[in-house]
Amino acid sequence: MTCVWLLFSSMTIAHTEELEGALQWKPFGLIGDVAYAPVRLDGRNLFSIAAERKNEKNDRWGLGTLEIRRNRIENRLNSQVQYLIENRVDSRSLQVFTTQLNKQMAVQVALNGETTKPIITVTALDAEIYGLTESEVAQEYAEQIRQALLQAIEERKPDVWRTQIQSAGIVGAIAILSIALLFWWQQRIGKVRRRLRQEFNNYQELLIEQQTAVGMNGELSPDASEQQQHLLALKRRIDRKTWQKRILQLLLLGVGVIGLAWILQRFPQTRLLGVLLFRQPIGLLLIGLTIAIVINWSHLLIDWLLTKWVGTEERLPIAQIERRRRRLLTLSPAWKSITTMLLVGVGLILAYTLFSLSTGLTLFTEIGVLGLAASLALQSSIKDALTGWMLLAKDAFTVGDSITIKDATGIVEDMGLFLTQIRSSPGELITIRNGEINQIINSSKDWSRMDFTVLVDYDSDIKKAMTLMKEVFKTMQTDPVWGVQLLGEPDILGMEKFDQHGILLRIRTQTQPGQQFSVTREFRLRLNQAFKEAGIKLPIPQQEVRYREP
Protein backbone atom coordinates (compact mmCIF):
# COMPACT_ATOMS: atom_id res chain seq x y z
CA MET A 1 0.00 0.00 0.00
CA THR A 2 2.97 2.31 0.53
CA CYS A 3 3.75 2.02 -3.17
CA VAL A 4 0.21 3.05 -4.06
CA TRP A 5 0.42 6.02 -1.67
CA LEU A 6 3.69 7.11 -3.25
CA LEU A 7 2.13 6.79 -6.68
CA PHE A 8 -0.76 9.06 -5.80
CA SER A 9 1.07 11.48 -3.51
CA SER A 10 2.33 13.38 -6.55
CA MET A 11 -1.03 13.19 -8.33
CA THR A 12 -3.42 14.35 -5.62
CA ILE A 13 -6.58 15.98 -6.88
CA ALA A 14 -6.38 19.54 -5.53
CA HIS A 15 -6.51 23.08 -6.75
CA THR A 16 -2.89 23.85 -5.88
CA GLU A 17 -1.19 20.73 -7.21
CA GLU A 18 -0.63 19.35 -10.66
CA LEU A 19 -3.43 17.20 -11.97
CA GLU A 20 -2.82 14.33 -14.34
CA GLY A 21 -5.18 13.89 -17.26
CA ALA A 22 -7.11 11.00 -18.69
CA LEU A 23 -4.24 9.32 -20.57
CA GLN A 24 -1.42 11.76 -19.83
CA TRP A 25 -2.44 13.50 -23.05
CA LYS A 26 -3.79 16.51 -21.12
CA PRO A 27 -1.90 16.79 -17.86
CA PHE A 28 -2.76 20.06 -16.19
CA GLY A 29 -3.03 21.94 -12.95
CA LEU A 30 -5.42 24.48 -11.52
CA ILE A 31 -4.96 27.64 -9.52
CA GLY A 32 -8.38 29.16 -9.25
CA ASP A 33 -9.66 29.73 -12.79
CA VAL A 34 -6.16 29.49 -14.26
CA ALA A 35 -5.08 26.19 -15.82
CA TYR A 36 -1.49 25.26 -16.53
CA ALA A 37 0.19 22.45 -18.44
CA PRO A 38 3.80 21.40 -19.13
CA VAL A 39 5.56 21.99 -22.43
CA ARG A 40 7.52 18.93 -23.61
CA LEU A 41 10.37 18.26 -25.97
CA ASP A 42 11.37 14.68 -26.74
CA GLY A 43 9.07 13.52 -23.96
CA ARG A 44 10.68 15.68 -21.25
CA ASN A 45 8.83 18.37 -19.36
CA LEU A 46 10.59 21.71 -19.79
CA PHE A 47 8.33 24.23 -18.08
CA SER A 48 4.66 25.02 -17.56
CA ILE A 49 2.51 27.58 -19.30
CA ALA A 50 -0.83 28.95 -18.21
CA ALA A 51 -4.10 30.18 -19.68
CA GLU A 52 -7.50 31.15 -18.38
CA ARG A 53 -10.12 28.42 -18.43
CA LYS A 54 -13.02 29.04 -20.78
CA ASN A 55 -16.13 26.91 -20.54
CA GLU A 56 -17.16 25.96 -24.04
CA LYS A 57 -19.76 23.54 -25.34
CA ASN A 58 -17.33 20.93 -26.68
CA ASP A 59 -14.65 21.50 -24.02
CA ARG A 60 -15.66 19.96 -20.72
CA TRP A 61 -12.66 21.25 -18.78
CA GLY A 62 -12.22 24.60 -20.56
CA LEU A 63 -8.65 23.79 -21.60
CA GLY A 64 -8.93 24.41 -25.33
CA THR A 65 -6.99 27.68 -25.25
CA LEU A 66 -4.24 26.15 -23.14
CA GLU A 67 -3.90 23.12 -25.41
CA ILE A 68 -3.69 25.23 -28.55
CA ARG A 69 -0.97 27.37 -27.04
CA ARG A 70 1.01 24.39 -25.79
CA ASN A 71 0.81 22.57 -29.12
CA ARG A 72 2.02 25.69 -30.93
CA ILE A 73 5.09 26.01 -28.66
CA GLU A 74 5.94 22.31 -28.90
CA ASN A 75 5.66 22.39 -32.71
CA ARG A 76 8.08 25.33 -32.85
CA LEU A 77 10.54 23.48 -30.62
CA ASN A 78 10.34 20.32 -32.75
CA SER A 79 10.80 22.36 -35.94
CA GLN A 80 13.84 24.02 -34.40
CA VAL A 81 15.38 20.64 -33.55
CA GLN A 82 14.71 19.32 -37.04
CA TYR A 83 16.33 22.40 -38.59
CA LEU A 84 19.41 22.05 -36.37
CA ILE A 85 19.85 18.38 -37.29
CA GLU A 86 19.22 18.72 -41.01
CA ASN A 87 21.61 21.67 -41.38
CA ARG A 88 24.18 20.21 -38.98
CA VAL A 89 24.37 23.44 -37.07
CA ASP A 90 27.23 23.70 -34.61
CA SER A 91 25.75 23.66 -31.14
CA ARG A 92 28.26 26.30 -30.06
CA SER A 93 26.56 28.82 -32.36
CA LEU A 94 23.19 28.21 -30.70
CA GLN A 95 21.94 31.13 -28.65
CA VAL A 96 18.65 31.43 -26.76
CA PHE A 97 17.77 34.84 -25.39
CA THR A 98 14.86 36.93 -24.18
CA THR A 99 13.48 40.00 -25.85
CA GLN A 100 10.47 42.28 -25.59
CA LEU A 101 7.85 42.13 -28.33
CA ASN A 102 4.66 44.17 -28.19
CA LYS A 103 5.32 44.99 -24.53
CA GLN A 104 5.61 41.28 -23.66
CA MET A 105 8.67 39.19 -22.87
CA ALA A 106 9.48 36.56 -25.50
CA VAL A 107 12.10 33.86 -26.02
CA GLN A 108 13.93 33.57 -29.33
CA VAL A 109 16.64 31.36 -30.83
CA ALA A 110 19.63 32.76 -32.77
CA LEU A 111 21.77 30.63 -35.12
CA ASN A 112 25.01 32.13 -36.35
CA GLY A 113 23.68 35.52 -35.38
CA GLU A 114 20.35 35.12 -37.21
CA THR A 115 17.22 35.15 -35.03
CA THR A 116 14.17 32.97 -35.60
CA LYS A 117 10.54 33.46 -34.79
CA PRO A 118 9.76 33.65 -31.05
CA ILE A 119 9.45 30.24 -29.47
CA ILE A 120 7.19 31.50 -26.68
CA THR A 121 5.69 34.75 -25.47
CA VAL A 122 5.48 35.02 -21.68
CA THR A 123 2.09 36.10 -20.30
CA ALA A 124 1.09 37.51 -16.94
CA LEU A 125 -0.58 34.17 -16.11
CA ASP A 126 2.71 32.33 -16.75
CA ALA A 127 4.38 34.59 -14.22
CA GLU A 128 1.48 34.19 -11.79
CA ILE A 129 1.75 30.40 -11.50
CA TYR A 130 5.47 30.69 -10.67
CA GLY A 131 5.16 33.73 -8.46
CA LEU A 132 7.85 35.55 -10.47
CA THR A 133 8.01 38.54 -12.77
CA GLU A 134 7.55 38.07 -16.49
CA SER A 135 11.21 38.89 -17.08
CA GLU A 136 12.37 36.28 -14.56
CA VAL A 137 10.08 33.65 -16.04
CA ALA A 138 11.36 34.47 -19.56
CA GLN A 139 14.94 33.94 -18.39
CA GLU A 140 14.03 30.56 -16.90
CA TYR A 141 12.23 29.56 -20.10
CA ALA A 142 15.23 30.56 -22.21
CA GLU A 143 17.62 28.50 -20.11
CA GLN A 144 15.37 25.43 -20.21
CA ILE A 145 14.93 25.73 -23.98
CA ARG A 146 18.68 26.08 -24.56
CA GLN A 147 19.49 22.98 -22.48
CA ALA A 148 16.70 20.99 -24.15
CA LEU A 149 17.88 21.88 -27.67
CA LEU A 150 21.48 20.97 -26.84
CA GLN A 151 20.38 17.67 -25.34
CA ALA A 152 18.20 16.92 -28.38
CA ILE A 153 21.18 17.46 -30.68
CA GLU A 154 23.41 15.28 -28.51
CA GLU A 155 20.92 12.39 -28.35
CA ARG A 156 20.65 12.23 -32.13
CA LYS A 157 24.37 11.69 -32.74
CA PRO A 158 25.23 8.28 -34.31
CA ASP A 159 27.53 7.12 -31.51
CA VAL A 160 24.87 7.90 -28.89
CA TRP A 161 22.32 5.99 -30.98
CA ARG A 162 24.54 2.93 -31.10
CA THR A 163 25.03 3.01 -27.33
CA GLN A 164 21.30 3.30 -26.73
CA ILE A 165 20.54 0.47 -29.15
CA GLN A 166 22.99 -1.78 -27.31
CA SER A 167 21.44 -0.90 -23.97
CA ALA A 168 17.96 -1.50 -25.36
CA GLY A 169 19.02 -4.90 -26.70
CA ILE A 170 20.42 -5.98 -23.34
CA VAL A 171 17.36 -4.83 -21.43
CA GLY A 172 15.06 -6.42 -24.02
CA ALA A 173 16.87 -9.76 -23.68
CA ILE A 174 16.64 -9.62 -19.89
CA ALA A 175 12.93 -8.77 -20.13
CA ILE A 176 12.26 -11.67 -22.52
CA LEU A 177 14.09 -14.13 -20.27
CA SER A 178 12.20 -12.84 -17.24
CA ILE A 179 8.88 -13.16 -19.07
CA ALA A 180 9.74 -16.71 -20.14
CA LEU A 181 10.64 -17.65 -16.55
CA LEU A 182 7.50 -16.10 -15.13
CA PHE A 183 5.36 -17.79 -17.81
CA TRP A 184 6.91 -21.19 -17.00
CA TRP A 185 6.33 -20.60 -13.29
CA GLN A 186 2.71 -19.58 -13.96
CA GLN A 187 2.08 -22.71 -16.05
CA ARG A 188 3.54 -24.87 -13.32
CA ILE A 189 1.29 -23.32 -10.68
CA GLY A 190 -1.67 -23.75 -13.03
CA LYS A 191 -0.99 -27.50 -13.32
CA VAL A 192 -0.72 -27.87 -9.55
CA ARG A 193 -3.95 -25.91 -9.10
CA ARG A 194 -5.84 -28.13 -11.57
CA ARG A 195 -4.59 -31.24 -9.78
CA LEU A 196 -5.64 -29.85 -6.40
CA ARG A 197 -9.04 -28.88 -7.80
CA GLN A 198 -9.63 -32.42 -9.08
CA GLU A 199 -8.55 -33.89 -5.74
CA PHE A 200 -10.82 -31.44 -3.92
CA ASN A 201 -13.84 -32.41 -6.03
CA ASN A 202 -13.20 -36.10 -5.42
CA TYR A 203 -12.88 -35.65 -1.66
CA GLN A 204 -15.96 -33.44 -1.53
CA GLU A 205 -18.11 -36.03 -3.31
CA LEU A 206 -16.78 -38.78 -1.03
CA LEU A 207 -17.38 -36.71 2.10
CA ILE A 208 -20.98 -35.88 1.13
CA GLU A 209 -21.67 -39.58 0.55
CA GLN A 210 -20.23 -40.49 3.95
CA GLN A 211 -22.11 -37.72 5.70
CA THR A 212 -25.34 -38.93 4.14
CA ALA A 213 -24.56 -42.50 5.21
CA VAL A 214 -23.31 -42.07 8.81
CA GLY A 215 -24.69 -38.83 10.14
CA MET A 216 -23.95 -35.46 8.75
CA ASN A 217 -23.81 -33.61 12.03
CA GLY A 218 -23.02 -36.33 14.44
CA GLU A 219 -19.86 -38.17 15.30
CA LEU A 220 -18.18 -38.97 12.03
CA SER A 221 -15.82 -41.85 11.64
CA PRO A 222 -12.13 -41.02 12.10
CA ASP A 223 -11.56 -41.42 8.37
CA ALA A 224 -14.43 -39.08 7.50
CA SER A 225 -13.28 -36.48 10.03
CA GLU A 226 -9.75 -36.66 8.68
CA GLN A 227 -11.05 -36.31 5.11
CA GLN A 228 -13.06 -33.25 6.17
CA GLN A 229 -9.95 -31.56 7.56
CA HIS A 230 -8.00 -32.55 4.46
CA LEU A 231 -10.76 -30.97 2.35
CA LEU A 232 -10.32 -27.67 4.20
CA ALA A 233 -6.56 -27.82 3.70
CA LEU A 234 -7.04 -28.47 -0.03
CA LYS A 235 -9.38 -25.49 -0.31
CA ARG A 236 -6.78 -23.20 1.25
CA ARG A 237 -4.06 -24.52 -1.04
CA ILE A 238 -6.27 -23.97 -4.10
CA ASP A 239 -6.93 -20.38 -3.02
CA ARG A 240 -3.22 -19.72 -2.50
CA LYS A 241 -2.33 -21.18 -5.88
CA THR A 242 -5.07 -19.14 -7.54
CA TRP A 243 -3.76 -15.86 -6.21
CA GLN A 244 -0.15 -16.84 -6.81
CA LYS A 245 -1.06 -17.38 -10.44
CA ARG A 246 -2.81 -14.02 -10.66
CA ILE A 247 0.13 -12.23 -9.06
CA LEU A 248 2.49 -13.90 -11.51
CA GLN A 249 0.26 -12.80 -14.40
CA LEU A 250 0.46 -9.21 -13.18
CA LEU A 251 4.23 -9.50 -12.75
CA LEU A 252 4.55 -10.95 -16.23
CA LEU A 253 2.58 -8.07 -17.70
CA GLY A 254 4.50 -5.59 -15.55
CA VAL A 255 7.90 -6.85 -16.66
CA GLY A 256 6.84 -6.61 -20.30
CA VAL A 257 5.45 -3.08 -19.99
CA ILE A 258 8.37 -1.82 -17.88
CA GLY A 259 10.91 -3.28 -20.28
CA LEU A 260 9.14 -1.79 -23.28
CA ALA A 261 8.73 1.59 -21.55
CA TRP A 262 12.42 1.67 -20.61
CA ILE A 263 13.48 0.87 -24.17
CA LEU A 264 11.16 3.51 -25.63
CA GLN A 265 12.54 6.13 -23.25
CA ARG A 266 16.08 5.55 -24.55
CA PHE A 267 15.22 7.30 -27.84
CA PRO A 268 13.96 10.88 -28.18
CA GLN A 269 11.41 10.05 -30.88
CA THR A 270 9.63 7.49 -28.66
CA ARG A 271 10.37 8.88 -25.22
CA LEU A 272 6.92 10.41 -24.77
CA LEU A 273 5.26 7.06 -25.50
CA GLY A 274 7.63 5.42 -23.02
CA VAL A 275 6.73 7.99 -20.37
CA LEU A 276 3.03 7.42 -20.99
CA LEU A 277 3.53 3.66 -20.73
CA PHE A 278 5.51 4.02 -17.55
CA ARG A 279 3.10 6.30 -15.75
CA GLN A 280 -0.47 5.13 -16.30
CA PRO A 281 -0.02 1.43 -17.19
CA ILE A 282 2.66 0.91 -14.56
CA GLY A 283 0.47 2.75 -12.10
CA LEU A 284 -2.41 0.42 -12.93
CA LEU A 285 -0.17 -2.63 -12.66
CA LEU A 286 1.12 -1.41 -9.32
CA ILE A 287 -2.43 -0.93 -8.10
CA GLY A 288 -3.44 -4.37 -9.41
CA LEU A 289 -0.42 -6.08 -7.88
CA THR A 290 -0.96 -4.39 -4.52
CA ILE A 291 -4.66 -5.26 -4.48
CA ALA A 292 -3.88 -8.87 -5.46
CA ILE A 293 -1.37 -9.22 -2.63
CA VAL A 294 -3.76 -7.66 -0.12
CA ILE A 295 -6.55 -10.00 -1.29
CA ASN A 296 -4.24 -12.99 -0.87
CA TRP A 297 -3.32 -11.87 2.66
CA SER A 298 -6.97 -11.25 3.52
CA HIS A 299 -7.86 -14.78 2.38
CA LEU A 300 -5.15 -16.22 4.60
CA LEU A 301 -6.45 -14.12 7.50
CA ILE A 302 -10.02 -15.34 6.88
CA ASP A 303 -8.86 -18.98 6.88
CA TRP A 304 -6.96 -18.42 10.12
CA LEU A 305 -9.90 -16.71 11.84
CA LEU A 306 -12.40 -19.36 10.73
CA THR A 307 -10.05 -22.13 11.87
CA LYS A 308 -9.93 -20.50 15.31
CA TRP A 309 -13.72 -20.16 15.24
CA VAL A 310 -14.18 -23.91 14.59
CA GLY A 311 -12.55 -24.63 17.94
CA THR A 312 -11.14 -27.80 19.44
CA GLU A 313 -12.60 -30.86 21.15
CA GLU A 314 -11.39 -29.57 24.52
CA ARG A 315 -13.65 -26.51 24.24
CA LEU A 316 -16.70 -27.64 22.24
CA PRO A 317 -18.75 -30.82 21.70
CA ILE A 318 -17.64 -32.91 18.75
CA ALA A 319 -21.04 -32.48 17.05
CA GLN A 320 -20.74 -28.69 17.15
CA ILE A 321 -17.17 -28.85 15.85
CA GLU A 322 -18.18 -31.05 12.92
CA ARG A 323 -21.06 -28.70 12.10
CA ARG A 324 -18.71 -25.72 12.15
CA ARG A 325 -16.23 -27.52 9.92
CA ARG A 326 -18.92 -28.09 7.33
CA ARG A 327 -20.07 -24.49 7.65
CA LEU A 328 -16.49 -23.38 7.12
CA LEU A 329 -16.64 -24.80 3.58
CA THR A 330 -19.46 -22.35 2.89
CA LEU A 331 -18.43 -19.37 5.03
CA SER A 332 -14.86 -19.25 3.77
CA PRO A 333 -15.72 -18.71 0.06
CA ALA A 334 -18.46 -16.24 1.01
CA TRP A 335 -16.21 -14.08 3.18
CA LYS A 336 -13.47 -14.25 0.59
CA SER A 337 -15.88 -13.17 -2.12
CA ILE A 338 -16.99 -10.18 -0.05
CA THR A 339 -13.45 -9.03 0.76
CA THR A 340 -12.41 -9.58 -2.85
CA MET A 341 -15.28 -7.45 -4.17
CA LEU A 342 -14.53 -4.68 -1.65
CA LEU A 343 -10.81 -4.62 -2.43
CA VAL A 344 -11.44 -4.75 -6.18
CA GLY A 345 -13.79 -1.80 -5.70
CA VAL A 346 -11.01 0.09 -3.91
CA GLY A 347 -8.67 -0.76 -6.78
CA LEU A 348 -11.17 0.53 -9.34
CA ILE A 349 -11.52 3.79 -7.41
CA LEU A 350 -7.74 4.18 -7.30
CA ALA A 351 -7.55 3.44 -11.02
CA TYR A 352 -10.30 5.96 -11.70
CA THR A 353 -8.41 8.53 -9.63
CA LEU A 354 -5.31 7.83 -11.68
CA PHE A 355 -7.18 8.72 -14.85
CA SER A 356 -9.57 11.34 -13.55
CA LEU A 357 -9.41 14.99 -14.59
CA SER A 358 -12.05 16.12 -12.14
CA THR A 359 -11.78 17.60 -8.68
CA GLY A 360 -12.29 15.46 -5.62
CA LEU A 361 -15.91 16.60 -5.32
CA THR A 362 -16.67 15.69 -8.91
CA LEU A 363 -14.86 12.38 -8.47
CA PHE A 364 -17.04 11.23 -5.60
CA THR A 365 -20.14 12.66 -7.23
CA GLU A 366 -19.49 10.59 -10.33
CA ILE A 367 -18.78 7.52 -8.22
CA GLY A 368 -22.10 8.08 -6.45
CA VAL A 369 -23.94 8.35 -9.76
CA LEU A 370 -22.26 5.18 -11.02
CA GLY A 371 -23.12 3.40 -7.77
CA LEU A 372 -26.76 4.42 -8.06
CA ALA A 373 -26.92 3.26 -11.67
CA ALA A 374 -25.26 -0.05 -10.78
CA SER A 375 -27.65 -0.63 -7.86
CA LEU A 376 -30.66 -0.06 -10.12
CA ALA A 377 -29.28 -2.33 -12.83
CA LEU A 378 -28.27 -5.09 -10.42
CA GLN A 379 -31.24 -5.12 -8.07
CA SER A 380 -31.84 -8.85 -8.42
CA SER A 381 -28.17 -9.68 -7.87
CA ILE A 382 -28.05 -7.46 -4.79
CA LYS A 383 -31.16 -9.19 -3.49
CA ASP A 384 -29.55 -12.60 -4.10
CA ALA A 385 -26.38 -11.55 -2.27
CA LEU A 386 -28.24 -10.12 0.74
CA THR A 387 -30.44 -13.20 1.00
CA GLY A 388 -27.40 -15.45 0.69
CA TRP A 389 -25.63 -13.57 3.44
CA MET A 390 -28.66 -13.86 5.75
CA LEU A 391 -28.86 -17.59 5.10
CA LEU A 392 -25.18 -17.95 5.95
CA ALA A 393 -25.43 -15.81 9.07
CA LYS A 394 -28.45 -17.72 10.38
CA ASP A 395 -26.97 -21.13 9.46
CA ALA A 396 -30.16 -22.01 7.60
CA PHE A 397 -28.27 -24.77 5.78
CA THR A 398 -24.78 -25.60 4.62
CA VAL A 399 -22.98 -27.94 2.27
CA GLY A 400 -24.07 -31.54 2.90
CA ASP A 401 -27.47 -30.70 4.46
CA SER A 402 -30.65 -32.36 3.21
CA ILE A 403 -33.11 -29.57 2.43
CA THR A 404 -36.32 -28.82 0.57
CA ILE A 405 -36.76 -25.51 -1.24
CA LYS A 406 -40.12 -25.13 -2.94
CA ASP A 407 -40.53 -28.38 -4.89
CA ALA A 408 -36.82 -29.27 -4.92
CA THR A 409 -35.41 -31.74 -2.39
CA GLY A 410 -31.83 -32.95 -2.16
CA ILE A 411 -28.36 -32.60 -0.67
CA VAL A 412 -26.69 -29.18 -0.77
CA GLU A 413 -23.60 -29.39 -2.98
CA ASP A 414 -22.71 -25.70 -3.17
CA MET A 415 -23.86 -22.54 -1.47
CA GLY A 416 -22.71 -19.04 -2.39
CA LEU A 417 -23.88 -15.50 -1.98
CA PHE A 418 -25.88 -15.62 -5.21
CA LEU A 419 -26.74 -19.26 -5.96
CA THR A 420 -27.47 -22.50 -4.16
CA GLN A 421 -27.06 -25.90 -5.81
CA ILE A 422 -28.66 -29.10 -4.52
CA ARG A 423 -28.42 -32.66 -5.83
CA SER A 424 -31.75 -34.49 -5.95
CA SER A 425 -32.22 -38.20 -5.30
CA PRO A 426 -32.25 -39.06 -9.07
CA GLY A 427 -28.93 -37.21 -9.38
CA GLU A 428 -30.25 -33.98 -10.89
CA LEU A 429 -28.31 -30.81 -10.05
CA ILE A 430 -30.80 -28.06 -9.19
CA THR A 431 -29.62 -24.44 -9.13
CA ILE A 432 -31.69 -21.88 -7.24
CA ARG A 433 -31.14 -18.14 -6.93
CA ASN A 434 -30.93 -17.13 -3.29
CA GLY A 435 -33.30 -14.23 -3.83
CA GLU A 436 -36.06 -16.70 -4.73
CA ILE A 437 -35.72 -18.65 -1.47
CA ASN A 438 -38.52 -17.75 0.95
CA GLN A 439 -38.99 -21.06 2.76
CA ILE A 440 -36.51 -23.81 3.64
CA ILE A 441 -37.11 -27.22 5.13
CA ASN A 442 -33.87 -28.52 6.63
CA SER A 443 -34.04 -32.20 7.47
CA SER A 444 -30.48 -32.48 8.69
CA LYS A 445 -29.77 -29.70 11.15
CA ASP A 446 -29.22 -30.38 14.86
CA TRP A 447 -31.45 -33.49 14.89
CA SER A 448 -34.10 -35.38 12.93
CA ARG A 449 -37.03 -37.57 13.95
CA MET A 450 -38.07 -41.08 13.06
CA ASP A 451 -41.87 -41.16 13.05
CA PHE A 452 -42.84 -44.81 12.56
CA THR A 453 -46.35 -46.30 12.32
CA VAL A 454 -47.41 -49.89 11.81
CA LEU A 455 -50.78 -51.64 11.43
CA VAL A 456 -51.36 -54.85 13.40
CA ASP A 457 -54.27 -57.26 13.18
CA TYR A 458 -57.23 -56.87 15.58
CA ASP A 459 -56.61 -60.42 16.81
CA SER A 460 -53.02 -59.69 17.83
CA ASP A 461 -51.80 -58.96 21.37
CA ILE A 462 -51.41 -55.17 21.25
CA LYS A 463 -49.41 -54.90 24.52
CA LYS A 464 -47.00 -57.55 23.31
CA ALA A 465 -46.62 -55.72 20.00
CA MET A 466 -45.73 -52.48 21.81
CA THR A 467 -43.28 -54.34 24.05
CA LEU A 468 -41.59 -55.81 20.98
CA MET A 469 -41.30 -52.35 19.42
CA LYS A 470 -39.50 -51.12 22.54
CA GLU A 471 -37.21 -54.17 22.66
CA VAL A 472 -36.27 -53.80 19.00
CA PHE A 473 -35.41 -50.18 19.64
CA LYS A 474 -33.18 -51.19 22.58
CA THR A 475 -31.33 -53.71 20.41
CA MET A 476 -30.63 -50.94 17.92
CA GLN A 477 -29.36 -48.73 20.75
CA THR A 478 -26.79 -51.36 21.71
CA ASP A 479 -25.72 -51.87 18.10
CA PRO A 480 -22.33 -50.14 17.48
CA VAL A 481 -23.42 -48.99 14.03
CA TRP A 482 -26.97 -47.84 14.72
CA GLY A 483 -26.60 -46.78 18.33
CA VAL A 484 -24.77 -43.60 17.39
CA GLN A 485 -27.63 -42.63 15.10
CA LEU A 486 -30.24 -42.63 17.90
CA LEU A 487 -30.66 -39.76 20.34
CA GLY A 488 -32.42 -40.46 23.61
CA GLU A 489 -35.19 -42.85 24.47
CA PRO A 490 -38.13 -43.67 22.17
CA ASP A 491 -41.55 -42.16 22.62
CA ILE A 492 -44.01 -45.03 22.22
CA LEU A 493 -47.33 -43.33 21.57
CA GLY A 494 -49.19 -46.66 21.55
CA MET A 495 -52.49 -47.08 19.78
CA GLU A 496 -52.85 -44.19 17.39
CA LYS A 497 -56.21 -45.12 15.88
CA PHE A 498 -58.51 -47.92 14.79
CA ASP A 499 -58.43 -48.52 11.09
CA GLN A 500 -60.72 -50.59 8.91
CA HIS A 501 -57.78 -52.92 8.33
CA GLY A 502 -56.29 -53.00 11.83
CA ILE A 503 -54.91 -51.08 14.81
CA LEU A 504 -52.34 -48.35 14.10
CA LEU A 505 -49.35 -48.28 16.52
CA ARG A 506 -46.90 -45.42 16.58
CA ILE A 507 -43.35 -44.84 17.87
CA ARG A 508 -41.03 -41.93 17.36
CA THR A 509 -37.55 -40.90 18.43
CA GLN A 510 -34.85 -38.39 17.64
CA THR A 511 -32.00 -39.37 15.34
CA GLN A 512 -28.84 -37.82 14.09
CA PRO A 513 -29.50 -35.17 11.43
CA GLY A 514 -30.59 -36.68 8.13
CA GLN A 515 -30.57 -40.26 9.45
CA GLN A 516 -34.30 -40.64 10.06
CA PHE A 517 -34.80 -42.48 6.77
CA SER A 518 -32.01 -45.04 7.21
CA VAL A 519 -32.98 -45.59 10.88
CA THR A 520 -36.62 -46.11 9.89
CA ARG A 521 -35.70 -48.67 7.25
CA GLU A 522 -33.53 -50.64 9.72
CA PHE A 523 -36.17 -50.47 12.45
CA ARG A 524 -38.85 -51.69 10.03
CA LEU A 525 -36.67 -54.63 9.00
CA ARG A 526 -35.97 -55.73 12.58
CA LEU A 527 -39.53 -55.20 13.75
CA ASN A 528 -40.89 -57.31 10.93
CA GLN A 529 -38.61 -60.18 11.97
CA ALA A 530 -39.59 -59.79 15.64
CA PHE A 531 -43.33 -59.79 14.82
CA LYS A 532 -42.95 -62.96 12.78
CA GLU A 533 -41.14 -64.74 15.61
CA ALA A 534 -43.74 -63.61 18.18
CA GLY A 535 -46.72 -64.39 15.98
CA ILE A 536 -47.90 -60.81 15.69
CA LYS A 537 -49.81 -60.65 12.48
CA LEU A 538 -50.04 -57.70 10.17
CA PRO A 539 -53.51 -57.03 8.77
CA ILE A 540 -54.39 -58.30 5.36
CA PRO A 541 -56.80 -56.07 3.47
CA GLN A 542 -60.13 -57.88 3.12
CA GLN A 543 -63.27 -56.91 1.28
CA GLU A 544 -66.74 -58.34 1.75
CA VAL A 545 -68.97 -58.50 -1.33
CA ARG A 546 -72.69 -58.97 -0.92
CA TYR A 547 -75.00 -59.93 -3.71
CA ARG A 548 -78.70 -59.06 -3.52
CA GLU A 549 -81.24 -61.11 -5.43
CA PRO A 550 -83.45 -58.97 -7.69
User: Where do the domains of the chain lie, and which CATH numbers do they carry?
Assistant: 22-156 (no CATH), 167-367 (no CATH), 368-444 (2.30.30.60), 448-534 (3.30.70.100)
pLDDT at residue number 219: 44
Residue 188 CB coordination number (10 Å):
12
Residue 224 pLDDT class (50, 70, 90 cuts): low
Number of H helices, E strands in the chain: 12, 16
pLDDT at residue number 424: 79
Q: How far apart are CA 79 and CA 163, in angstroms?
A: 26
Compute the average pLDDT of residues 485-495. Answer: 77
Going by C-beta distance under 8 Å and a sequence separation of 6 or more, which residues neighbour residue 348? none
Q: Which helix (H) or strand (E) holds 521?
A: helix 516-534
Among residues 111, 122, 144, which one has the least CA distance to residue 42?
144
Q: How far apart are CA 241 and CA 247, in angstroms?
A: 10
Q: What's the chain's average pLDDT?
A: 77
Phi, psi of 73 (to 5 degrees): -65, -45
Among residues 43, 24, 261, which one has the least CA distance to residue 155?
43
Among residues 101, 120, 97, 108, which one has the least CA distance to residue 50?
120
Q: Which one is predicted more confidently, 184 or 14?
A: 184
Three-state DSSP at 106 gives strand
pLDDT at residue number 295: 86
Q: Does the pLDDT at position 332 exceed 90? A: no
Q: Which one is predicted more confidently, 173 or 401?
A: 173
Instruction: Summarize pLDDT for 233-242 with one digit per residue, the tens.
Output: 787 788 888 8
Q: Which of 72-81, 196-205, 520-529 has the lowest mean pLDDT?
A: 196-205
State the DSSP string of 152-182: HHHHTSHHHHHHHHHHHHHHHHHHHHHHHHH
pLDDT at residue number 300: 83
Instruction: Summarize pLDDT for 279-288 with one digit per residue, the tens.
Output: 777 777 788 8
Q: Does the pLDDT at position 84 exceed 90? A: no
pLDDT at residue number 312: 67
pLDDT at residue number 26: 38
Residue 8 pLDDT class (50, 70, 90 cuts): very low
Q: Does the pLDDT at position 138 exceed 70? A: yes
Three-state DSSP at 16 gives coil
Residue 67 pLDDT class (50, 70, 90 cuts): confident
pLDDT at residue number 183: 93
pLDDT at residue number 34: 82
Q: How far apart are CA 277 and CA 296, in angstroms?
A: 27
Give the type of residue at 254: G
pLDDT at residue number 369: 57
Among residues 151, 158, 160, 36, which one has the least CA distance to residue 96?
151
pLDDT at residue number 62: 63
* Percent of the chain clearing pLDDT 70 (strictly above): 81
- Most confident of the ranges 127-131, 313-317, 364-368: 127-131
Q: Which of 91-100, 220-229, 251-260, 345-354 has the lowest mean pLDDT?
A: 220-229
pLDDT at residue number 4: 40
Instruction: Report yes or no: 69 and 76 within 8 Å, Cβ to Cβ.
Output: no
Q: Which of 7-21, 57-71, 308-322, 528-542 has the lowest mean pLDDT?
A: 7-21
Instruction: Summarize pLDDT for 264-278 with one digit per residue, the tens.
Output: 888 888 888 887 777
Residue 208 pLDDT class (50, 70, 90 cuts): low
pLDDT at residue number 174: 94
Residue 474 pLDDT class (50, 70, 90 cuts): confident
Instruction: Summarize pLDDT for 412-463 with one digit per residue, the tens.
Output: 877 777 888 888 777 778 888 888 888 888 777 777 778 888 888 777 778 8
Q: Does the pLDDT at position 358 exceed 60? A: no
Compute the average pLDDT of residues 102-124. Answer: 86
Q: Is the pTM of this model over 0.85?
A: no
Compute the average pLDDT of residues 219-244. Answer: 70
Going by C-beta distance under 8 Å and a sequence separation of 6 or more, which residues neighbour residue 40? 46, 74, 272
pLDDT at residue number 204: 72
Q: Does the pLDDT at position 108 exceed 50? A: yes
Instruction: Summarize pLDDT for 384-402 with one digit per residue, the tens.
Output: 778 887 887 777 777 777 7
Q: Which helix (H) or strand (E) holds 354?
A: helix 318-355
Q: Which helix (H) or strand (E) holds 310?
A: helix 271-310
Compute the average pLDDT of residues 123-149. Answer: 89
Compute the average pLDDT of residues 72-96. Answer: 86
Q: Does the pLDDT at position 12 exceed 70? A: no
Among residues 81, 5, 13, which one has the least CA distance to residue 46?
81
